[in-house]
């Protein structure tokens, strides 16, 4: 679908539910239309180096993958796929006459107030919540498919992608940001070279698994049983990672939100249930993985700043870049 078609669907579209007041939430790769009872996620027709939604067949395939993969860590949220159809003068989702022009992932509408990032901002995430979340993630990782073949040094290349933002950030922040990034690249290269045997050993030991891939507080609902949703379905490589890399994202996110206490609690609970931090070298690797996750957040926000529609949006994104560069550097100084 196109932006114009999505707007028409919002204005006078037909949905499976009789009473519907659609609200649009847009990301860089999808449109999510939230209605009274359900939410419908439509993938944008885009093609990046790491993602290909360019054809309707590809979008249908990844809708199917999204449902299968996300059902591993959620209960009754991912309901199925609905066709998106075009009729004279309007568009519809679900059954009815018309030509199929796209597909939507149908999800149960969740209580927004139970999203973990919002609860964190209100100071309403408890130690009990973290224990339950650690139990859910550790239990999932224990049974997740083991990855036997992987270029374990590929993370070094991914870390170095931030180099591409130096020129833009130098114009925004001056030489300080460029110096931080260059120093980070040198530390990362040295760390990976020094620890390539450790990474290979962890692969051999079965610590690389088919994980969630995008485990942070915005992708978690803290219900009676925590629900981690919106895993990476579009690129297996981004999801098939060291379990320490997976939980490092959540712990980095908690650190960035000023809740290092919850970060440490989660890590301790998780490691008690699924011991993966057995040596001092493992703990250093975990810190490196946190720096990598801060690195990725810095890059994503830099790209967001580049494409901002106005000065306020750019300024907000750049503030996030600065925060995550600082956090990345803080982690790297601990190696």
Write down the CATH number for the domain with range 116-332.
3.90.1200
Q: Say whether pLDDT at 335 is over 80.
A: yes
Three-state SS string over 265-281 comes to HHHHHHHHHCCCCCCHH
Q: Say whether pLDDT at 19 is over 80.
A: no
State the maximum Cα–Cα separation within the chain, in Å, rounded to a whole number.
Answer: 65
Q: What per-residue confidence (pLDDT) applies to 31?
A: 96
Residue range 11-38: average pLDDT? 88
Q: What per-residue confidence (pLDDT) applies to 126?
A: 96
Cα–Cα nearest to 302, from 170, 117, 175, 118: 170
Q: What per-residue confidence (pLDDT) applies to 307?
A: 83
Q: Report the interhelical angle of 280-306 vs 166-173 (nearest 10°).
A: 70
Q: What per-residue confidence (pLDDT) applies to 96?
A: 86
> pLDDT tens across 97-112, in order?
899 999 999 999 999 9
Q: Say whether pLDDT at 61 is over 90.
A: yes
Cα–Cα nearest to 226, from 121, 143, 119, 142: 119
> pLDDT tens across 267-277, in order?
999 999 999 99
Integer Cα distance of 41 and 73 in angstroms: 18
Greater pLDDT, 175 or 263: 263
Q: Say whether pLDDT at 79 is over 90.
A: yes
Cα–Cα nearest to 288, from 156, 142, 150: 156
Integer Cα distance of 24 and 52 in angstroms: 23
Q: What per-residue confidence (pLDDT) applies to 309?
A: 82
DSSP-assigned beta bridge partners for residue 30: 43
Mean pLDDT of the chain: 95
Assign 117 a pLDDT band (cuts: 50, 70, 90): very high
Cβ-Cβ contacts under 8 Å for 86 (sequence gap 6 or more): 5, 98, 99, 101
Q: What per-residue confidence (pLDDT) applies to 49?
A: 83
Domain boundaries, the chain: 3-109, 116-332
Integer Cα distance of 161 and 277 in angstroms: 27
Q: What per-residue confidence (pLDDT) applies to 148?
A: 97
Residue range 75-85: average pLDDT? 96
Q: What per-residue confidence (pLDDT) applies to 308?
A: 83
């Amino acid at each position: 679908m196109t932006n114009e078609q999505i707007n028409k669907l919002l204005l006078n579209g037909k949905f499976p539910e009789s009473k519907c007041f659609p609200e649009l939430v847009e990301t860089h790769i999808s449109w999510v239309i939230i209605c009274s009872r359900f939410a419908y996620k439509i993938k944008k027709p885009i093609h990046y180096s790491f993602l290909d939604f360019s054809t309707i067949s590809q979008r249908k395939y990844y809708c199917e993958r999204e449902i299968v993969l996300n059902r591993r860590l959620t209960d009754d949220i991912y309901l199925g796929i609905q066709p998106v159809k075009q009729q004279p003068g309007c568009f519809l989702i679900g059954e009815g006459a018309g030509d199929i022009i796209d597909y939507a992932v149908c999800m149960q509408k969740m209580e927004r107030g139970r999203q973990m990032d919002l609860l964190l901002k209100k100071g309403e995430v408890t130690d009990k919540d973290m224990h339950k979340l650690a139990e859910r993630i550790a239990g999932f990782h224990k049974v997740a498919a083991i990855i036997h073949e992987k270029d374990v040094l590929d993370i070094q290349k991914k870390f170095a992608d931030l180099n591409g933002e130096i020129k833009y950030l130098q114009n925004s922040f001056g030489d300080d940001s460029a110096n931080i990034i260059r120093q980070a690249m040198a530390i990362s290269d040295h760390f990976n070279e020094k620890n390539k045997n450790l990474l290979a050993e962890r692969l051999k030991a079965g610590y690389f698994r088919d994980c969630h891939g995008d485990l942070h507080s915005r992708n978690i609902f803290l219900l009676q049983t925590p629900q981690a949703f919106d895993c990476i379905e579009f690129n297996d490589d981004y999801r098939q990672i060291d379990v320490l890399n997976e939980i490092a994202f959540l712990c980095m996110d908690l650190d960035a939100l000023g809740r290092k206490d919850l970060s440490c609690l989660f890590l301790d609970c998780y490691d008690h249930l699924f011991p993966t931090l057995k040596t001092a070298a493992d703990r250093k690797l975990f810190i490196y993985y946190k720096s990598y996750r801060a690195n990725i957040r810095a890059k994503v926000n830099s790209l967001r700043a580049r494409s901002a529609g106005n000065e306020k949006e750019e300024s907000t994104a750049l503030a996030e870049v600065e925060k995550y560069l600082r956090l990345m550097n803080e982690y790297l100084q601990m190696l």
